[in-house]
Chains A and B, each alone.
Chain A
């Protein structure tokens, strides 16, 4: 079955740690996206990538980093510079100009 997966489903981070969230798709989509979701704020774009080895900052990129070494994979690292990382993180992919397909999400909590 084609789809998009995220792991882990739940992640706990101690202050000062970097953590990496995984996102994999087998839909052969060129574009991939990372969103952060907080209650009452909808989806906010962190980073997006339209092609392998290229990515762009979204609206709230500070404290985050990404890589796009393979078409199928777009991992997100939450660095210690992100002061309030507790949130629900969603990864998505799309073919150009069409709807996005979302993963199930990762809930990150800072201890």
Chain B
């Protein structure tokens, strides 16, 4: 079995500040890990993924995430956010064929 917990349902932040969105997972097998972004009334778009290799993964729009096996975490970070980063962010784990998604974190960037 596998599961994903996104620890914050909402994260407010001011523009140009750093941000971290937290994700913890559990799985009985080796995992693939993903972060997706969803803008209002749109589908999800892949931000970044961890399949193997380096534990620091860089994605689109200046986001990065670090895979920590001992803490079973895959937190998403950005050093300086922009108004346009306001969106819903989903963490997902795929140890089996079918991925499991977290409930999402709403990132709200204030001017």
Number of A residues near B (Cβ < 8 Å) is: 25
Nearest-CB residue, chain A, relative to B98 = A48
* Chain A interface residues toward B at CB < 8 A: 6, 31, 33, 40-43, 45, 48, 50, 58, 88, 90, 92, 96-105, 107
Q: Which of B19-27, B78-86, B100-108 contacts its partner?
A: B100-108
- Jot down 16 A-B pairs with beta carbons below 8 A, ordered by A: A6-B43, A42-B101, A42-B103, A43-B44, A45-B98, A48-B98, A88-B41, A90-B44, A97-B94, A97-B97, A99-B34, A100-B46, A100-B92, A102-B45, A104-B43, A107-B41
Q: Which residues of B contact A40 (CB under 8 A)?
A: 9, 103
Interface size of B as a range: 20 to 34
Nearest-CB residue, chain B, relative to A56 = B98
